[in-house]
Structure 1
Amino acid sequence: MIVKWWWALKTNKSALWSKVITGIHNLYNKPANVLSKRTIAGVWNNIAGVMNDLSQAGISFRDILKKNVKNGNDTLFWMDAWCDGEPLKDKLPELYQLEKRKSCKVSQRVQAGGYSSEWRSPPTMDEQSHSLQLLYEIIGEHRPSPDPDSWICPLSGDGIFLVEAIRSKLDNIEPTTN
């Protein structure tokens, strides 16, 4: 049930309580799986801790919440797992190091005409060139649209978050033996 608060925070950004939590924990331009500062005690840190509990059970954040990128205005290009199930900063660390604006949005990097970059220095090494080619392949599949970005729950067939879907996933996990 606690995970439902994550869903509500991500899908109901206009609600006053969502704005307060986002402000208190400075969640602006933070990856989607970050919920709170570790130094602030309270209920929201407990809610953030549930992801660790689920991770220990073999369920990742991306199993529960997945970004459906449309216009890219609400998705961090490097830090959110918006393509291929892994943040681009982890998939392509050589390019992430060259990026000037690490908190840029998808809409600032991917337009209808292609990819727009802001490098500290141009990618030159073979490894960077290979990563750049891979980046083009990954983002080449994304077609910006005027619709806003949204969240879906991959556990349910229709993308809507249901507590029962997580419960079912937990019930179907094989216990580990030591």
Structure 2
Amino acid sequence: MELRSVLDRLESIRRNFFLGGCEERRKINWVAWNVVLGPKGNGGLGIGSLESLNISLLIKWLWRFYDERDSLWRRVICGIHNCERKHVDRWAKKSLGGCWFNIINVVSRLNDLGVNFKSTFDICLGDGKNTLFWLDDWLGNGTMAFNFPHLFELDKRKSCFVAERVGYDRLKWDWKRKPNTVIEREELDLLVRLVERCD
């Protein structure tokens, strides 16, 4: 049975119970079910929807995936899906499906609702070995890929870590070709100043 139909069925049973109806005989709904699900302060019972609860529990697994970098279960997931050096949207192979793929799909569902999953996390840079240089928002003002798109296009390894690009005394690059257009040089100058400021 598909998850959506399971959620709908469970929600129907719960709705009938709370509103005093049953499967065979319907009663008049004096209050909209969405109001009942809402917070007590808004006139609801504060019980929330099962779909919201399900999304919350799935997001908890993503939080743990971010937080427990050395755990065995995370290493197994990364081994199966080759997700260690990829952006969150590509952490699961579609061809494999399964639980982990469903968990990752929550990110797409949240994006469809206008919620940016990664923006809810603060990145602790640490030694830079677990933070993606281009794809993580490690300086707090957007990803480097978004802020410096021309340089991002030039980099041979777009999934590199901060530790691979930021050295003690200088930045280290692996370009397809050297930045030579005016916009590329301007982006590089701005990027260097931005990174030096965070030292």
| Common fold: TM-score over 0.5 | yes
Residue in 2 aligned with 1:160? none
Where relative contact order (Cα < 8 A, 6+ residues apart) is larger, the structure is: 1
Deviations for 1:4-23, whole angstroms, at most 9, x for unmatched residues?
Answer: 00011111122221111111
Which structure's CA Rg is the greater one?
2
- Unaligned residue ranges in structure 2 (runs of 5+): 1-56
Q: C-alpha offsets along residues 120-162 of structure 1, whole Å, 9 cap, x if unaligned?
A: 222111111111122113322333xxxxxxxxxxxxxxxxxxx
2:55 maps to 1:16: no
2:88–2:104 CA contact under 8 A, matched in 1 = no
* Contact 1:77/1:109 (8 A) holds in 2: yes
Task: Within 5 Å, give how 1:157-172 maps onto structure 2.
Answer: none
Q: Where does residue 28 of structure 1 map in the other structure?
A: 84
Is it true that 1:113 corresponds to 2:169 in the alignment? Answer: yes
Distance 1:118 1:2 in 2: 37
Q: Which has the higher strand share?
A: 1
Query: Does residue 138 of structure 2 align to residue 74 of structure 1?
Result: no
Query: Deviation at 1:109?
Result: 1.1
Unaligned runs of 5+ in 1: 144-178
Aligned identity (percent) is 31
The number of residues matched between the two structures is 143
Residues 117-136 of structure 1: matches in 2 within 5 Å?
A: 117-136=173-192
Partner of 1:57: 113
* 1:79 CA displacement: 2.2
The structure where helix makes up a greater share of residues is 2
Decide which moves more: 122-131 or 13-22. Answer: 13-22
The alignment status of 1:41 with 2:97, answered yes or no, reads yes
Q: Offset at 1:51?
A: 1.2
Aligned-pair Cα RMSD in Å: 1.9
